[in-house]
Amino acid sequence: MSALSIARMGAEVLRQPAAEVVDLADPGLWDLVDDMIETMFEAGGVGLAAPQVYHARRVVIFFVPAARNQGIEVPLTVMVNPVINPLDDVTEESLEACLSVPGLTGMVPRFANIRYHYQDMAGALIEREAHGFHARVVQHECDHLDGVVYPMRMDDLSTLAFSDVLLAEASARGHELELDEEG
Ligand code: NI
- Domain-wise residue ranges, the chain: 12-90+110-152
Instruction: Say if residue 102's pLDDT is above 90.
Output: yes
Specify the pTM: 0.95
- Centroid of ligand 1 to alpha carbon of 182 (angstroms): 7
- Catalytic residue, chosen from 96, 141, 181, 182, is 141
141 assigned to active site:
yes
pLDDT number for residue 177:
78
Summarised one tens digit per residue, pLDDT across range 112-135 is: 999 999 999 999 999 999 999 999
| CATH hierarchy code of domain 12-90+110-152 | 3.90.45.10
Distance 139 CA to ligand 1 centre (A): 10
Q: pLDDT by residue (tens digit) across 56-76?
A: 999 999 999 998 888 999 999
Would the pLDDT of 17 be above 90? Answer: yes
Q: Rounded distance, CA 29 to CA 164, Å?
A: 36
16 Cα to the center of ligand 1, angstroms: 14
Residue 20 scores a pLDDT above 80: yes
Q: What is the pLDDT of residue 8?
A: 98
Mean pLDDT for the stretch of residues 29-39: 97
Distance 79 CA to ligand 1 centre (A): 15
